[in-house]
Each structure stands twice: as structure tokens, then as C-alpha cells.
Amino acid sequence: MPCVPTGASPPPAQTKAFLMFLSALSRPHLVQAGRQIAPGLALSIMVAMAAQFMSDHYGVPVMLMAILLGIAFQFLSENERTAQGIAFAARTLLRVGVALLGLRVSVEMVRDIGPVFVGVIIAGVAVTILASVAIAGLFGKDRAFGFLTGGSVAICGASAAMAIASILPERENSERDLAFTVISVTVFSTVAMILYPILASPLGLGMRDTGLFLGGTIHDVAQVVGAGYSVSDETGDLATVVKLIRVTLLAPTVLIGALILRRHAPATGKRPPLMPAFVVAFLILALLNSAHIVPQALLDPASSLSRAALVTAVAAVGMKTSLAKLADVGGTAIAMLAVQTVFLALFILAGIALV
């Protein structure tokens, strides 16, 4: 018997659609999947919240705190009750966070900076990544490690490392290398945040050139903001825009990397997707933002959600990382990151001098 009283009109189409949606959510396999990931996901969120609290109150970089706190709870990733949720946070929330970064970029940034220096930024990112892949063997590392660290230095620190790691083929030490990169690049970024503004004056950089330098070289967005506004509001605004142009380059970098990896993947092995879905989402959101279709009231919440998702993903990566294995990476990897950081700084300084 239908549940509509006699003489009553049938429910409208919107009501039917909503009831179908609720019915889909109540299907046993979805409920079971939710129960499996809930404990680990909740723990990852709690670690991320603790990291954010420490960052807000003590000034510690939130990404660094998230992964260090996560490492302390590494044993939870081996527990069958929490393992799936932690893996979900490390993988799926990462993609959500990176995709939402698209709402922070737009084509108007190119106009504000000027096409010539935008070309310098693009060249700096490309050359840094290519050089990193080329010199990886000199430091006893493979090309995948060079791509991972080079991309994190050249583009946007921990966020880039997480995105690039998602397309790299599975290796024995994949999670260890990712955790090492996130920690190291955040430390280098924090040092640069303190050191680079001090060096700006001896290098003869004015307010505008300082903004170009800070935005073009420091790894993480938060440290760029801290360094830029410690000089002046003008420098901070310009540095942030330059940095977001580098963030924009994450999507084409991941796409090109996926195409190359797909070409060289074994015929019988798992091939990377031609175009990762989160990259497509990033590009679509960037286009919508450039066309001013997204309401301003949604931009700030989306930015906060992106950051929360990325911090939670980094915390989950830490929870999947063994500290003992992390020590096996070696001092040569730190030296490699130092070389990459200095190389990018010198390249951007040369570009500023030329333009």
C-alpha cells in the first residue's frame, strides 16, 4: 500500500529525489564502509585539531606539528579497527584538499604580476623539478624521490608533496619518503621564512622585488604569508599572489607527471590515471573562480575546508609512518633538499635581476 493518504497529491519530484538519496545512504554496504573508516578518520581529525591548536597558540607550523603528532600514534595504523580510516584520510581527504585549492587561484593573478615574471616562475618550477630528477642519483635516490622533493620545493611544500605522491608508483618506502619530505620541506620553509626577509636588504631588493622573491622561493603558503607581511603589507600581498601562481602550477605538474609515469609503467602493472580526478576538479574550480561564478561567501569556507582536509591528511600520513624507517632516509636526502632550495632561490633572484 502506498504511504500517501487518500486524496493527497503525490510527493513532488524534489521530495522523491531526496528520499532516494536517503535510501542510497542507508544501503548496507555504505553503512558498513562508514563504520569501517569512522574510527581511524575520527582519530586523524583529532590529531589535526591538536596540531592546529598548537600552531595557533605557539606559532609552530601546523603541517610540521600534524605529521610529528601523527608519527607518535603510528601504532594505530596497524590496528584493524583504525587502519582503514587512517588510509582514507591520507588518500581521499588529500584529494579533496588539493582540489579545493583551485578556488584560491585565478587568471587575474597573471595580470597583477606581469607575464614576464610569471614566465620566470614557470621556468623556475620546471627547471627545479627537472634538475631534482637529474641529480637524484648523485644523492643515492631514485627519480621518483627527485620528483617528489623537487615538486615540493618548487611548488607548494607539503601540499605538492602529497599530491605528487598520489600519482607515483607504489614503492617499498613510499610512505617513509613522503613523511620525510613533508617534515623536511616544512622545516626548510620555516627557516626561509625567518632568513629570507633578513637577506632582502643586503641583496638590494626593494619592497616589490622582496615580495617577488619571497613568493617565488618559500615552499609553504603559510610561511610565505608570514615572511611577506613581516616586511610590509605591500610585500605580503605581492608575495601571496606570487605564491598562489606557483600553487596553480600544481595541476599541470601532476598531469604531466602522470602522463610520463603512464608511458613508462609496465604493461602488466597498474598504470596511473591519465587525468587524476582531483586535478580535474582543481582546474574546474580555478576556472569558475576566474570567471567570478563562485560567490564570495563560499570562498573563505572552501579555503578553510581545504586547509583542514590537508592538515588531516598530513596527520594521517604521519600515523602511517614509522620513525625508525624515517631515519633510514639519510643525511644525503637532507643535503639534496638544501641544494634544491638554494637552487630555486638563486634562479628567482636571477629572474628578478633580468626583469
Q: State pLDDT tens for residues 48-92.
A: 999 999 988 988 778 778 888 888 898 888 888 898 999 888 878
pLDDT for res 166: 82
In this structure, the number of other CB atoms found within 10 A of the CB of residue 8 comes to 9
Structural domain includes residue 10: no
Question: For the residues 130-157, what does the mean pLDDT come to?
Answer: 92
Structural domain includes residue 13: no
Structural domain includes residue 28: no
Q: What is the pLDDT of residues 86-118, one digit of tens each?
A: 988 887 887 788 788 788 777 777 777 888 898
Structural domain includes residue 99: yes
Q: What is the pLDDT of residues 13-55, one digit of tens each?
A: 545 544 554 455 455 666 666 778 889 999 999 999 999 999 8
Structural domain includes residue 7: no
pTM: 0.69
Structural domain includes residue 105: yes
The number of distinct structural domains making up the chain is: 1
Cell of 34: 562508514
Structural domain includes residue 14: no
Structural domain includes residue 62: yes
| Domain interval for residue 225 | 38-322+332-354
User: Across the chain, what does the average pLDDT equal?
Assistant: 82
pLDDT for res 6: 44
136 close to 142: Cβ distance less than 8 angstroms: yes
* Burial category of 198 from C-beta neighbours within 10 Å (exposed 0-12, middle 13-18, buried 19 and up): exposed
How many angstroms separate the CA atoms of 145 and 137, rounded? 10
What percentage of the chain carries pLDDT values higher than 70?
A: 84
* Distances 53 to 65, 70, 103, 185 between C-alpha atoms, Å: 10, 14, 25, 21
pLDDT for res 21: 47
pLDDT for res 217: 94
pLDDT for res 271: 54
Q: What is the pLDDT of residues 244-285, one digit of tens each?
A: 888 888 888 988 888 888 776 655 455 555 566 777 888 888
